[in-house]
Structure 1
Amino acid sequence: MTEMTYLAPCAMLSTVGIFKSFFLMKNNIEKEEGKFVNSVITLLNIFNICVVFDFTFTPIIKIVKKYISSGELELVLPHKVVYPFDAFDIKYWPFAFFKQSWSECIVLLEMCGADYFYYICCTFIRIQFRLLCYEFENLIPSRHLNEEEQNIVKSKLINLIKRHQELIKCTSTLDMIYSKSTLFNFVSSSVIICLAGFNVKATDNIALAVTFLTFLSMNLFQIFFLCLFGDMIMRSSMEVSDAAYNCLWYADRNVARDVLLVQIRAQNPCKLTAFGFADVNYMSFSKIMSTSWSYFALLNTMYNENQEN
């Protein structure tokens, strides 16, 4: 009896968890949205882990290789940092090495935490816009409505308009939170991508080239997905206009006027910006890549001329 009462609460709680997850998956209209954002997060996690491992273990590989070939213990750190002590002294090197490796993890966690929350918020807003489109398309059940049905449609339309306004406010709030950091991200990404690409091309060390290639890929994916999710919000918000047009708005003249206003507003897309200087979409990504290539070409030309001289 004691054993049964001991196991029963755990079994029941497990059953509740199974039922909750089962019905959540069964009734989730936008399951593909959740799968997509999970796939994005998984992909970025893989690249982030690879970056940490590359920057952490490349110095160790160099140390071991040097020791095997020459018998000398030449200590190396992941990053070239100046300390007020001799960081290459065996007494201090482990602490400096651990500090730099831990700093890499902190930086990536700070960036990933903010980015992943951004992706989730964008996905949530996009799901709500798509649900709103579905509700608009099915707003009017038939072309001929009696008085009671007209009142029901009018009430539903008022609720849909309020939901639309709330989604616009949600997008504006998200833009307010991320606009300044997005601007800095846009400006810095061109330089980061340029320098990472140059390090891949200029170095003769294969291990270092692989490290910076992983770093370059991580930055490319990071800025690409930032623009992708911003573009998703723009497109989904504009789809509301088509959904409002596709409903049987001509069945009720009173409804037609309000639906027209929704269409007009939805044609002005909800968007995320880089502090008002640029919209976060595919076009911004192409501009960043174009700017990065220009910087890379200039830097590469200067480097080749210097090598020739």
Structure 2
Amino acid sequence: MEESTMKAAKQEIERSLKIVLFSMQRIGFSFDKPKNAAAYLLQKIILVVSVCGICLHVFSELAYILFTFASSPSIEDVVPLFHTFGYGALSVAKIFAFWYKKSVFGELVDELAGIWPMPPLSDDAQEFKDKSLTALRISHRWYFGVNIMGVWFYNLTPIITYFYRIWQDQDAVIGFVWASWYPFDKHQPIAHIACYLFEMYAGVACVWIMVSSDLLFSGMASHIALLLRILQWRLESFASTEKTDDENYEEIRSNIQLHQRLISYCNRLEEAFSLVNLINIVMSSINICCVVFVIVLLEPVLAISNKLFLASILIQVGAMCWYADDILHANGNISAAVYNSGWYKTSPRCRRSLLFIILRSQKPIAFTAMKFTNISLKTYSSILTRSYSYFALLYTMYSEK
């Protein structure tokens, strides 16, 4: 691929990841090198502040949970604390994974540009590309919007509750965004303002981290599924026109090379996100269970915030499983595409070459949770089933009490 085409491909990929790049900048990450020393210093300051902020936030929530366990280990006191703590802990895990694999993610974007479908394309391939990019853009905007609305509903709920109680002629005190412990009296006026602002910042920083990680994974996975479908179309149309044996063989060879590059790319992407995916799967069932318990039984005042939290985590896990399942099936359909082509019109040499694609496509390309399990829509179903089981157990314990 020529340098100008490569540059245009990278720009097109970056446009498809616009929300991801915007969110990354908010926490001090970027795939591009800073333009000068001042920009580099600013980036590092933002990163250090973000990491320290969310780590302190998660530690304070954990301390509050431990003190609550020690003083009043009742279900209605403890369960509402777990889903927000789980979200924060997941954010901490993701930002460290992001920092550790930052160079890998940058290389993946550059590598994707080398195999990105650029004009001139056939009508079918261009249609595949346009539909995929449009669907990705819509899903990214929805996920981004739900997360931003959710965190700001949480941030403003104590203030809204305060004015509501004044309107109802009740005793009103502005509370806090999260249930956190501090080694000082947080109810003093100055400390109260400082803690409230800190909790607002910590919540927003967690959202930037989640959006960056989740949308980067879904964007890259969506692009791989697109390329696999374009490869599938190319194989289905193979030998549909009269060509020489050498031309057919060269076309097969280019398709094999593209398939191998896609497999290699998927393996690198899977390795980069494997730990994050494991943490997502392990914690999602608990987070969903706890927030549903709170919505159904405990806190109707925070219903909107908690419902947005629930929507966010359902979309997050659902998108991860959807795109992983999409790649799994797109690769599996490669062998069927070869069978549906005009292979019977070609020479024995071409037919033997096509067998390599068929055999390799029968080995699944799957994203895993640290090799423990392949991620697919079945995984999503299992997460929801476990969440319901945990909720039923909590509901039984709460009802008996």
Do the two structures share a fold, i.e. TM-score over 0.5?
A: yes
Write the mapping of 1:230-241 to structure 2, written as runs, cut at 5 A: 230-241=324-335
Which residue is 1:78 aligned to? 177
Indicate the residue corresponding to 1:12 in structure 2: none
Q: Report what 1:200 is aligned to.
A: 295
SS in structure 1 opposite 2:190? coil
Q: By how many angstroms is 1:68 displaced?
A: 3.7
Residue number among 226, 235, 240 corresponding to 1:141 in the alignment: 240
Given candidates 218, 229, 235, the residue that maps to 1:119 is 218
Does structure 1 residue 226 correspond to structure 2 residue 320? Answer: yes
Partners of 1:266 and 1:25 lie apart in 2 by 27
Match of 2:348 among 253, 271, 274: 253
Match for residue 311 of structure 2 among 217, 220, 228: 217
The correspondence of residues 97-108 of structure 1 with structure 2, limited to 5 A, is 97-108=196-207
- CA apart distance, 1:70: 4.0
The CA deviation at 1:138 is 2.3
Structure 1 residues 26, 44: CA separation in 2 closer, same or farther (over 3 Å shift)? farther
2:399 is aligned to 304
- Contact between 2:228 and 2:330, CA under 8 Å: does it hold in 1? yes
3-state DSSP of counterpart to 1:175: helix
- Which AA in structure 1 matches 2:352? R
Question: Does the Cα contact within 8 Å between 2:140 and 2:215 map onto a contact in 1?
Answer: yes
The one-letter amino acid of 2:246's match is: N
Deviation at 1:72, TM superposition (A): 4.2
- Is residue 154 of structure 2 the alignment partner of residue 55 of structure 1? yes
- Higher mean Cα deviation, 173-182 or 126-135? 126-135
Q: Contact 2:225–2:326 at 8 Å: present in 1 too?
A: yes
TM-score (norm 2): 0.67
Cα distance change, pair 111–25 in 1 and its aligned pair in 2 (3 A): farther
CA distance in 1, matches of 2:120, 2:348: 38
**Matched letter for residue 332 of structure 2:** M
Summarize the Cα distance change of 1:193–1:233 in structure 2 as closer, same or farther, 3 Å threshold. same
Name the CA distance, whole Å, in 2 between partners of 1:96 and 1:127: 46
Partner secondary structure for residue 78 of structure 1: coil
Which of the residues 21, 26, 32 maps onto 2:131?
32
Cα offset, 1:206, TM superposition: 2.6
Does the CA contact (< 8 Å) of 1:75 and 1:88 recur in 2?
no
Distance 1:265 1:196, change over 3 A: same
CA contact (8 A) 1:138 1:247 kept: yes
Cα drift, residue 165 of structure 1? 0.6
| Contact 2:151 2:305 (8 Å CA) reproduced | no
Which segment drifts farther, 59-68 or 41-50?
59-68
Partner of 1:92: 191
State the secondary structure of the residue aligned to 1:91: helix
User: Distance in 2 between the 1:191 and 1:25 partners?
Assistant: 46
CA deviation vs aligned residue, 1:4-35 (integer Å, no higher than 9, x gap) = xxxxxxxxxxxxxxxxx9xx899644101011
User: How many angstroms does 1:237 deviate by?
Assistant: 0.9
Cα drift, residue 235 of structure 1:
1.1
Alignment match of 2:376 (pick from 281, 291, 295): 281
1:77-115 Cα distance to aligned partner (Å, 9 max, x none): 011111122212222212111110111111111011011
Structure-2 change in CA distance of 1:199 and 1:26 (3 Å): farther
1:130 maps to what in 2? 229
Q: Percent identity?
A: 24
**Partners of 1:57 and 1:177 in 2: how far apart?**
36
SS in 2 for 1:63: helix
The alignment status of 1:162 with 2:261, answered yes or no, reads: no
| Alignment match, 2:21 | none
Report the AA paired with residue 184 of structure 1. Answer: I
**RMSD value over aligned CA atoms?**
2.0
CA contact (8 A) 1:228 1:282 kept: yes
1:263-288 per-residue CA deviation (whole Å, 9 max, x = no partner) reads 12112221111111111110000000
* Counterparts of 2:319 and 2:358, CA distance in 1: 29
SS of 2:303's equivalent?
A: helix
C-alpha deviation, 1:261, in angstroms: 2.3
1:66 Cα deviation (Å)? 2.8
Q: Is the 1:227–1:280 Cα contact (8 Å) retained in structure 2?
A: yes
Q: Which runs of 5+ in 1 are unaligned?
A: 1-20
Deviation at 1:65, TM superposition (A): 2.4
Letter of the aligned partner of 1:206 in structure 2?
Answer: P
The structure with the larger Rg is 1
